[in-house]
Amino acid sequence: MAIDYERLMAKPFPERRHSYTKKDTILYALGIGLGGDPVDDGQLQFVYEAGLKAFPTMPVVLGYPGFWMRDDPDCGIDWVRVVHGEQRLTLHGEIPAEGTVVGRTRITHVIDKGKDRGALVIQQRTVTDAATGRLIATIDHTTFCRADGGFGGPKIEAPVPHRLPERAPEAHCDIATLPQAALIYRLAGDDNPLHADPRVARDAGFPRPILHGLATYGVAAHAVLKTFCGMDPSRLRSFDLRFSAPVYPGETVRTEMWREGEVVWFRARVPERDAVVLNNGRATIS
């Protein structure tokens, strides 16, 4: 069954009203590895209710429409073989440590890369405070549908990734992930069985469950915050990257960084396999 382009572009997403508590905020932070040093005040502020702050990438799990590619088989996507392609986050203000938000999602592009080359589905979500209507974040999420190219969609160029400096990185930060990291992170709302069920992982071509791309995304944000922001979450204004290879829970994520004024360019690799897992990263900081 091929992708139904018209159906996808017209797909309605109901508003997602999402109430969350301080425990949810702590769980998200634990899922991306914060609290690894329980006496580090920089990490403790995200995992302890006294003076709790939301980690700045938390909007990626707020107002999330769910794993709709699996739940809507008529859209024609082979959901078992989808992987996260790119993620872009723009922060517009403070993220409450608890509260209610409204997520509004729409599909902006469906790009046919060609037969045997897959397809891209790009969706955008805004997250607003339900009580005030204040815009908290804008999120652009690209899914790479590995098995769905050649459906005959219109000729649209894929977004050009951010280009990294060609000189050697100026800084790096190593953060180890837990063997059970994916099982913790999925409790934040992404219950794709690829990250928990060994049989589904093998069907998708992986030897075992992989870590959520957005968990690795949060690990890299932790590295940037630690290296250039003194762990002050209010200083991170945007965080964009491309996913280039999976991380297996228990591996180390080494984030390599360059700073140019308010821009931090970055990529991340797993040194155990010398594999670049995140690429073309660009963060803006204040």
Distance (Å, rounded) from C-alpha 107 to C-alpha 115? 22
**Catalytic hit among 18, 141, 195, 222:** 195
212 is catalytic: no
111 is catalytic: no
β pairing state of 171-176 and 135-145? unpaired
Q: Which two tokens stand for residue 177?
A: 């992930």
Count of Cβ atoms closer than 10 Å to residue 19 Cβ: 10
**Catalytic hit among 76, 99, 189, 213:** 213
78 is catalytic: no
**Catalytic hit among 139, 175, 210, 285:** 210
Distance (Å, rounded) from C-alpha 20 to C-alpha 259? 34
**Catalytic hit among 24, 112, 148, 190:** 190
Distance in Å from the first CA to the final CA of the chain:
47
213 is catalytic: yes
Q: Could you list the active site residues? A: 190, 195, 210, 213
